[in-house]
């Protein structure tokens, strides 16, 4: 059985159905990346998984423990508060915006939860915290406050803080999108090392080079549905669906004006993708960069062909 199972997940905000039946599985030790346009529901999936949002329907299970389920029921039911709290302790989450406590140093940020939630002694918690800071390259920042650190450093402290709870899975939500592109690489490197150490990871990212590099599987989400999923090579290099192709084309080339003629409903990804790609490219090795460039050229040719077809179809009144 998969480590994480999400089945038929639905979620609305008011009249807006944001998730329309998401199915997703993460095997233990795997890295699964979620890509998709802004507003497609990526964050809502992660937030439903750690119950920052309560799903309307579906079944969510982590490590054999049921978070919520509507299997064989008229209405979704959630685990008890106590059980949810306990499950959540095993889910490490790092967000887009740095969410360190501003009035605490890096070290204090990291020891806080293990001491308060798990009852770890200060001596042990600090020892672990220093090891974690070292593992993210920030030994020398232990006594710095968030405001005294760069965005990249703050995100690495946030990762160390999540790891201090010894999570069985790490959830990352666009953790590089609010930092300067040149600092993204240091965060991605920390994540890559984690992946190599066998951490189970669910990663929402706009960094296609990075997703291609570390993912066992990639899901492309649009309008609250999984459009396509498969290995990174399948989804990123050989996408089957027009929407996936258009999305990758837009992200890699940042060319919304080149949208395919029939893409009226397209909402293009957030505007700083070019910077992300630059950063991803910077941290991919040469071969991968070349592969991506070839891929961009291929996608562009394919989209041109599609557009020509639809133009000539329109002209001939078909």
Ligand X SMILES: Nc1ncnc2c1ncn2[C@@H]1O[C@H](COP(=O)(O)OP(=O)(O)OP(=O)(O)O)[C@@H](O)[C@H]1O
For residue 50, which of 6, 116, 8, 13 has the smallest C-alpha distance? Answer: 6
Tokens representing 317 are 């009144």
The entry of Mg ion, ligand X, none that residue 101 binds, CB within 5 to 8 Å by partner kind: none
Interaction partner, residue 105 (ligand X, Mg ion, none; CB < 5-8 Å by kind): none
Residue 272: CB minimum distance to Mg ion, A: 13
The reply on whether position 43 binds ligand X by CB under 6 A is yes
- Closest Cα partner for 48 from 88, 86, 80? 88
d(CA 47, CA 27): 19
**Helix, strand or coil for residue 171?**
strand
Report how far residue 162's alpha carbon sits from residue 259's, in angstroms, rounded to the nearest whole number: 39
User: How far is Cα 204 from Cα 186, in angstroms, rounded to an integer?
Assistant: 17
Under rule CB under 6 A, residue 42 binds ligand X = yes
41 binds ligand X (CB under 6 A): yes
The stretch near ligand X (CB under 6 A) out of 35-43, 136-144, 229-237, 245-253 is 35-43
Q: Is 243 in the site for ligand X (CB under 6 A)?
A: no
Considering the rule CB under 6 A, would residue 244 count as an interface residue with ligand X? no
Contact with Mg ion (CB under 5 A) among 43, 48, 50, 154:
43
Q: How far apart are the first and last CA of the chain?
A: 49
Cβ 156 to Mg ion shortest distance, Å: 20
List the single partner that 18 binds among Mg ion, ligand X, none, CB under 5 to 8 Å by kind: ligand X
Tokens of 128: 């672990």
Select from 40-48, 75-83, 127-135, 303-311 the region that touches ligand X (CB under 6 A): 40-48
Site string for ligand X, 13-32 (x = CB under 6 A): x----x--------------
Size of the site for Mg ion (CB under 5 A): 2
Cβ closer to ligand X: 110 or 211? 211
Q: Which two tokens stand for residue 148?
A: 């005294």
For tokens 């508060």, name the residue: 81
- Give the span between the Cα atoms of 262 and 301, in whole angstroms: 17
Helices within the chain (DSSP H only):
42-49, 81-89, 106-118, 122-135, 151-163, 181-196, 208-214, 232, 242-253, 273-283, 286-315
Nearer to Mg ion, 96 or 168 (CB): 96
Choose the binding region for ligand X from 39-47, 76-84, 159-167, 257-265 (rule: CB under 6 A).
39-47
Show the site string, 266-295: x = touches ligand X by CB under 6 A, - = not: ----x-------------------------
Handedness of CA 31, 164, 7, 99 (dihedral sign): negative
- Provide the binding-site residues for ligand X, judged by CB under 6 A: 13, 18, 36, 38-44, 270
- Provide the binding-site residues for Mg ion, judged by CB under 5 A: 42-43
């Amino acid at each position: 059985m998969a480590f994480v199972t999400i089945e038929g997940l639905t979620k609305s905000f008011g009249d807006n159905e944001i998730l329309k039946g998401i199915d997703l599985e993460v095997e233990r030790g795997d890295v699964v990346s979620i890509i998709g346009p802004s507003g497609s529901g990526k964050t809502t999936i992660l937030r439903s998984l750690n119950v920052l949002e309560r799903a309307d329907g579906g079944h969510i299970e982590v490590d054999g423990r049921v978070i919520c389920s509507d299997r064989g029921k008229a209405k979704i039911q959630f685990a008890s508060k106590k059980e949810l709290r306990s499950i959540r302790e095993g889910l490490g989450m790092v967000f887009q915006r740095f969410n360190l406590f501003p009035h605490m140093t890096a070290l204090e940020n990291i020891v806080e939860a293990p001491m308060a939630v798990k009852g770890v002694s200060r001596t042990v918690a600090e020892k672990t915290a220093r090891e974690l800071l070292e593992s993210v390259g920030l030994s020398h920042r232990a006594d710095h406050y968030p405001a005294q650190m760069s965005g990249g450093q703050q995100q690495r402290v946030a990762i160390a803080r999540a790891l201090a709870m010894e999570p069985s899975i790490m959830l990352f939500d666009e953790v590089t999108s609010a930092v300067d592109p040149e600092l993204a690489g240091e965060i991605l490197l920390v994540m890559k090392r984690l992946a190599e150490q066998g951490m189970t990871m669910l990663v929402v990212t706009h960094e296609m080079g990075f997703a291609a590099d570390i993912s066992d599987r990639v899901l492309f989400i649009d309008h609250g549905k999984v459009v396509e999923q498969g290995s990174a090579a399948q989804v990123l290099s050989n996408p089957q669906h027009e929407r996936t192709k258009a999305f990758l084309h837009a992200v890699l080339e940042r060319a919304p004006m080149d949208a395919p003629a029939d893409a009226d409903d397209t909402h293009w990804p957030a505007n700083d993708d070019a910077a992300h790609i630059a950063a991803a490219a910077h941290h991919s090795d040469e071969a991968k960069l070349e592969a991506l460039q070839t891929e961009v050229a291929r996608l562009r040719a394919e989209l041109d062909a599609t557009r020509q077809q639809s133009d000539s179809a329109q002209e001939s009144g078909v």
